[in-house]
Amino acid sequence: MVEPEFRATGVRIGKRLRSLTRAGTVRISGGRVELLTSYGSEIDSAPVQAVRVSRPWFAPQDRALADLDGKRYLLTLGERDPAPGEPGPPAARRFIEAVRRAAGRRA
Protein backbone atom coordinates (compact mmCIF):
# COMPACT_ATOMS: atom_id res chain seq x y z
CA MET A 1 0.00 0.00 0.00
CA VAL A 2 1.27 3.46 -0.91
CA GLU A 3 2.14 5.81 1.94
CA PRO A 4 -0.27 8.80 1.98
CA GLU A 5 1.16 12.17 0.99
CA PHE A 6 -0.79 13.82 3.83
CA ARG A 7 -2.79 12.42 6.72
CA ALA A 8 -4.54 14.22 9.56
CA THR A 9 -6.59 12.51 12.26
CA GLY A 10 -8.86 14.06 14.86
CA VAL A 11 -10.31 16.47 12.30
CA ARG A 12 -13.81 17.90 12.72
CA ILE A 13 -15.57 17.68 9.34
CA GLY A 14 -18.73 19.65 8.75
CA LYS A 15 -21.04 20.54 5.92
CA ARG A 16 -22.77 23.89 6.34
CA LEU A 17 -24.05 23.94 9.93
CA ARG A 18 -24.08 20.15 10.29
CA SER A 19 -21.17 18.28 11.86
CA LEU A 20 -20.45 15.02 10.03
CA THR A 21 -17.72 13.81 12.41
CA ARG A 22 -15.72 15.25 15.27
CA ALA A 23 -12.74 12.93 14.96
CA GLY A 24 -12.42 12.24 11.25
CA THR A 25 -9.45 11.69 8.99
CA VAL A 26 -8.31 13.73 6.00
CA ARG A 27 -5.97 11.93 3.64
CA ILE A 28 -4.25 12.72 0.35
CA SER A 29 -3.18 9.48 -1.28
CA GLY A 30 -2.90 8.18 -4.82
CA GLY A 31 -3.93 11.51 -6.34
CA ARG A 32 -7.17 11.73 -4.32
CA VAL A 33 -8.33 13.73 -1.32
CA GLU A 34 -10.40 11.58 1.04
CA LEU A 35 -12.57 12.61 3.98
CA LEU A 36 -13.23 9.71 6.35
CA THR A 37 -15.31 9.27 9.49
CA SER A 38 -13.74 8.23 12.78
CA TYR A 39 -14.70 4.64 11.88
CA GLY A 40 -12.88 4.82 8.54
CA SER A 41 -15.89 4.96 6.24
CA GLU A 42 -15.73 7.46 3.41
CA ILE A 43 -17.65 10.73 3.63
CA ASP A 44 -16.42 11.99 0.27
CA SER A 45 -13.42 11.85 -2.04
CA ALA A 46 -12.31 13.50 -5.25
CA PRO A 47 -9.26 13.69 -7.53
CA VAL A 48 -6.82 16.22 -6.15
CA GLN A 49 -7.11 18.33 -9.34
CA ALA A 50 -10.86 18.75 -8.70
CA VAL A 51 -10.38 19.96 -5.11
CA ARG A 52 -10.23 23.62 -4.17
CA VAL A 53 -9.00 24.60 -0.72
CA SER A 54 -8.80 27.93 1.08
CA ARG A 55 -8.83 29.54 4.47
CA PRO A 56 -12.07 31.28 5.39
CA TRP A 57 -11.36 34.92 6.20
CA PHE A 58 -13.96 34.99 8.97
CA ALA A 59 -12.84 31.90 10.93
CA PRO A 60 -10.00 31.04 13.33
CA GLN A 61 -6.60 29.87 12.03
CA ASP A 62 -7.45 26.18 12.54
CA ARG A 63 -10.13 26.05 9.83
CA ALA A 64 -9.95 25.25 6.12
CA LEU A 65 -12.60 25.10 3.43
CA ALA A 66 -12.42 22.17 1.03
CA ASP A 67 -14.57 22.04 -2.09
CA LEU A 68 -14.72 18.46 -3.42
CA ASP A 69 -16.53 18.29 -6.76
CA GLY A 70 -18.82 21.18 -5.80
CA LYS A 71 -19.54 20.00 -2.25
CA ARG A 72 -18.10 22.36 0.37
CA TYR A 73 -16.77 21.07 3.69
CA LEU A 74 -15.46 22.98 6.69
CA LEU A 75 -12.47 21.24 8.25
CA THR A 76 -11.24 22.10 11.73
CA LEU A 77 -7.62 21.05 12.05
CA GLY A 78 -5.07 22.24 14.61
CA GLU A 79 -4.10 25.86 15.21
CA ARG A 80 -0.46 24.82 15.20
CA ASP A 81 1.48 21.70 14.31
CA PRO A 82 1.70 19.28 17.25
CA ALA A 83 5.10 18.64 18.79
CA PRO A 84 6.87 15.52 17.51
CA GLY A 85 5.38 12.45 19.13
CA GLU A 86 2.26 14.28 20.35
CA PRO A 87 -1.17 13.39 18.96
CA GLY A 88 -3.33 15.90 17.16
CA PRO A 89 -4.03 17.20 13.70
CA PRO A 90 -1.51 19.34 11.81
CA ALA A 91 -2.22 22.97 11.09
CA ALA A 92 -4.76 23.90 8.43
CA ARG A 93 -1.97 25.70 6.57
CA ARG A 94 -0.13 22.38 6.04
CA PHE A 95 -3.27 20.76 4.62
CA ILE A 96 -3.77 23.58 2.13
CA GLU A 97 -0.12 23.43 1.07
CA ALA A 98 -0.30 19.63 0.68
CA VAL A 99 -3.36 19.80 -1.60
CA ARG A 100 -1.80 22.48 -3.77
CA ARG A 101 1.51 20.59 -3.94
CA ALA A 102 -0.24 17.32 -4.88
CA ALA A 103 -2.23 19.09 -7.61
CA GLY A 104 0.92 20.68 -9.00
CA ARG A 105 -0.21 24.18 -8.10
CA ARG A 106 1.88 26.75 -6.31
CA ALA A 107 1.61 26.58 -2.51
List, for residues 9-30, the tens digit of each pLDDT value.
Answer: 889 999 988 999 999 999 999 9
pLDDT tens for residues 72-97? Answer: 999 998 766 677 777 666 788 889 99
Decide if 10 is inside a domain.
yes
Decide if 1 is inside a domain.
no
Mean of pLDDT values over 33-45: 96
Q: Quick one: DSSP state of residue 48?
A: G
* CA pair distance 88, 7, nearest whole angstrom: 11
CATH code, 26 = 2.30.29.30
Of 103, 87, 104, 105, nearest to 32 (Cα)?
A: 103
Decide if 98 is inside a domain.
yes
Domain hosting 15: range is 6-105
pLDDT at site 13: 96
pLDDT tens for residues 40-84? Answer: 999 999 999 999 999 888 877 889 999 998 999 999 987 666 777
Decide if 100 is inside a domain.
yes
